[in-house]
Amino acid sequence: MADSVDLQTVRARVGVHFDKSGSVRDQALFASMCLALPYAHDGRATKIEVAVKDDEITVTDDGPGISLGNVRGTDIPIAQHMMCAVGACRDHKEHDGHAKLLCGISLAEVNAISSSASFVTMIDGVAYAQKYAIGVPTAAFKKVDRSSPGTRVRFTLDKRWIGREGFDIVSVENQVRRLGLDLVNADITFTQS
């Protein structure tokens, strides 16, 4: 229940949570890449696809996937915790530098301003998915058909919280380049349709 309270606070104070630089949409797009970019930096992901269409953001990588093991002392999967608890994705980063660099806005904050979202991860050759409505899981993770490794996050942003302006995908792409991460061995593509 505490997770949903955090998400309600995000929706009530969008300007506080998304007051870094650029539009709310662009900040949400950048935050959506926070799982894929560290894996590309350390060589565990060689491909990242970032796609935006209307109000939808999809980020897919071929990295190792995100654990479905439970957060210590709870029955909540780590992947779900990252999507639903403000700041949780920072807490689960393997490298503190990545957390500071990439996690100004958490996945949970993006999820909070989305009408729907989904998270798909492949662990040991088996894919699992979970869907969300306004930041809250609609069911537990379940096995799904998927042949590609890695993780996919998809957010459908809600106009009530993001406004009507479009994405500036070039600005976000430049922001990624300025991070100083070693991404030379990763094929990162940005598409907008």
Where are any strands of DSSP class E within the chain? Answer: 47-53, 56-61, 114-123, 126-133, 136-137, 142-144, 151-157, 187-192
Structural domains in the chain, CATH included, are 2-192 (3.30.565.10)
pLDDT digits (tens, 9 = 90+) for 158-169: 988 887 778 889
pLDDT digits (tens, 9 = 90+) for 133-192: 988 999 999 999 877 889 999 999 998 888 777 888 998 888 888 887 777 788 899 999
pTM: 0.88
Q: How many other C-beta atoms can be found within 10 angstroms of the C-beta atom of residue 165?
A: 10
- Give dist(CA 2, CA 136) in Å, integer: 11
CA–centroid distance for 15 within its chain: 19
CA–centroid distance for 55 within its chain: 15
- Give dist(CA 57, CA 90) in Å, integer: 20
